[in-house]
Each structure stands twice: as C-alpha cells, then as structure tokens.
C-alpha cells in the first residue's frame, strides 16, 4: 500500500462498491421494475428471464464479495499504519 491516505481512499471506494453492488443485486433479485431492462428477449438464442436474473445476481454478489475482501484488506493496512512504530 502507498500510505495511510491511499489506504483510506481504497477503504472508502471498496466500501462504496460493496454497498452499491449489494443493493443492485438485491433490487434485481426482488424484480424491481427499473432493473433488468437490458435483457434481450427478442434474439433466438436468449435464456429465459429467470436464468438471466439469477446469473446477474450471482455475478453481482461475487463482485461485491471481492470488493468486501479489498475493504477488509484496506482496513487492515490502515490499522497497521496506525499502530506501527515510528522510526
């Protein structure tokens, strides 16, 4: 990591990404009317809407998990910078 300021920035961005993607996954999973409008059901080789929704929720949850990992990593480095001995 580059320092306490970089860790703080990474922590904030990762936390925002985790929250945003989790909310978006919940909205798509609960069939919110303004999400999932990009599915192309007019093509011949499309999957049904339930499968598309399930795949989108899975992908969003996986990505939110990766962001959560970076949140924990950034918070750990931020704590490490706070408790390390000064030389």
Report the interhelical angle of 49-83 vs 4-29 (nearest 10°): 160
- When computed from its CA atoms, the radius of gyration of the chain, rounded to whole angstroms, is 18
Burial class (CB in 10 A: 0-12, 13-18, 19+), 71: buried
Segment 11-48, tens digit of pLDDT: 999 999 999 999 999 999 888 877 766 666 666 676 77
Distance of CA 1 to the CA centre of its chain: 21
pTM of the model: 0.81
Distance CA 26, CA 21 (A): 9
d(CA 34, CA 72): 32
Task: Give 40-66 pLDDT, tens digit per residue.
Answer: 666 667 677 788 889 989 999 999 999
């Amino acid at each position: 990591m580059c320092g306490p300021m970089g860790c703080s920035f990474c922590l904030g961005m990762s936390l925002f990404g985790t929250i945003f993607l989790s909310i978006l996954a919940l909205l798509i999973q609960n069939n919110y009317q303004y999400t999932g409008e990009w599915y192309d059901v007019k093509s011949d080789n499309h999957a049904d809407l339930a499968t598309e929704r399930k795949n989108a929720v899975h992908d969003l949850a996986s990505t939110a998990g990766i962001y959560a990992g970076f949140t924990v990593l950034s918070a750990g480095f931020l704590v490490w910078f706070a408790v390390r001995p000064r030389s």
